[in-house]
Amino acid sequence: MTDDLRSAGAPTLEDVARAAGVSRATVSRVVNGVRNVDPAIQEVVRQAVSVTGYAPNRAARSLVTRRTDAVALVVSGAGVEAGADGEGPGPASGEDGSFTAQVFADPFFGRVVTGVVNYLRPRGMHPVLMFAETSRARDEVVAYLRQGSADGALIVSTHAEDPLPGLLTEAGLAAVLYARPARPVLISYVDLAHQDGARLAAEHLLARGCRRIATISGPLDVPAGQARLAGFRDTMARHGHPYTPIAEGRFTQESGEAAMERLLAEHPDLDGVFAANDLMAMGACHVLREHGRRVPDDVAVVGFDDSSAALACRPPLTTVRQPVEGMAAEMTRLLLDRLARPDSPATSVIFEPELVVRGSA
């Protein structure tokens, strides 16, 4: 008669306690691995746990611990172009899903997810995926965190002037960014030394003997785009090339193709190209080949990121490696650190890029 009185609902601590003949508190201690419990009793409790099939209720636990063991992984973007889906007069940058689709078109985000998950998982934590491309969506992210649905946020911004970091810190919520915020907010972040990366690319092209070098930059309203361009230009200037042709892309393969077309039209004799990411570099290679230029013999191409696109390309891309997974893991570490010590100061960690030489340059 001590059994089977709990036919409905999942077993609770109470049930286990009864089955083990101890108090709820003791069961709780055993379940949470708190010391100071008689080994013999521990064993009895463990038995009872497995007999009853007990699983602690996360909500009840969260209610008292004030922790959820979840973190929000949010992809944030300020302005998305109107979707070219032709589905009627929808909002120009609305929540029609074009943003979420675009995000994953770039192999970059998958790598971030990989890095985050690999750090979180061994610690029993999980990422909740969120997108914050509109002001409404941003408010929802803030609300989500304020409700205590997640312990903190990992922010990957696709555009500068993203208001989200500000909103978050203002609300006293724990957050860490991938990439330095445009306006200095007191918040931790990881970033890459983009300028150094661009320098590596420029020097490689120069060392290779290229003399008429152009660049396909990233969007100039995103910090990474600016920094890579700046690093490239500075290096070129320092080596006696104060004027280098530039075509702005949007980090997509398509925009890379268009940029390459423009470059080729204006400078048919170029012999080297630095693209600010691999997707654009790949687009450039396609266009070059279509125009009868051999890569790297006629035109050398260097990409950036060392994403999966670099190996997918023919020839495989010489590129500047951004250790995305490692950076994402570090970003996660910074967040968990902050959660453990809420008033630890904001920290930033800058990673150094590395040149990876393959076939394209």
131 binds, among a copy of itself, DNA, none (CB under 5 to 8 A by kind): a copy of itself
Amino acid type, 190: V
Closer residue to DNA (CB): 43 or 266: 43
- Our finding on whether 161 is near a copy of itself (CB under 8 A) is no
The CB-of-74 to a copy of itself minimum distance in angstroms stands at: 10
For a copy of itself, the binding residues in 16-55 under the rule CB under 8 A are 55
Q: Interior CA angle at 94 toward 88 and 98, to 5°?
A: 80
Tell me the three state secondary structure of residue 31.
helix
What are the strands of the beta sheet with 213-217, ordered from one edge? 246-248, 213-217, 272-275, 300-305, 318-321, 354-356
Burial (Cβ within 10 Å: 0-12, 13-18, ≥19) of residue 242: exposed
- Residue 94 CA to residue 76 CA, distance in Å, equals 13
In the list 43, 58, 123, 183, the residue contacting a copy of itself (rule: CB under 8 A) is 58
- Our finding on whether 230 is near a copy of itself (CB under 8 A) is no
In the list 28, 93, 118, 347, the residue contacting a copy of itself (rule: CB under 8 A) is 118
- Residue 326 CA to residue 332 CA, distance in Å, equals 10
Contact indicator for 122, 41 with CB cutoff of 8 Å? no
Of 90, 93, 89, the C-alpha closest to 80 is: 93
For a copy of itself, the binding residues in 239-258 under the rule CB under 8 A are 253-254
Contact indicator for 351, 191 with CB cutoff of 8 Å? yes
Closer residue to a copy of itself (CB): 60 or 350: 60
Q: Would you give the binding string for a copy of itself spanning residues 298-317, x where CB under 8 A is met? A: ----------xx-xx-x---
The CB-of-138 to DNA minimum distance in angstroms stands at: 22
- Our finding on whether 289 is near a copy of itself (CB under 8 A) is yes
Amino acid type, 117: V
Closer residue to DNA (CB): 27 or 299: 27
Give the phi and the psi of residue 113 in degrees, each rounded to 5.
-55, -45
Interface contacts to DNA, rule CB under 7 A = 9-10, 12-14, 21-26, 28-29, 31-32, 35-38, 40-41, 54, 56-57, 60-61, 63-65
Residue ranges in contact with a copy of itself by CB under 8 A: 10, 55-60, 62-63, 68, 70, 73, 95, 97, 100-101, 103-105, 107, 109-111, 113-114, 117-118, 121-122, 126-131, 137, 143-144, 146-149, 253-254, 282, 286, 289-290, 308-309, 311-312, 314, 325
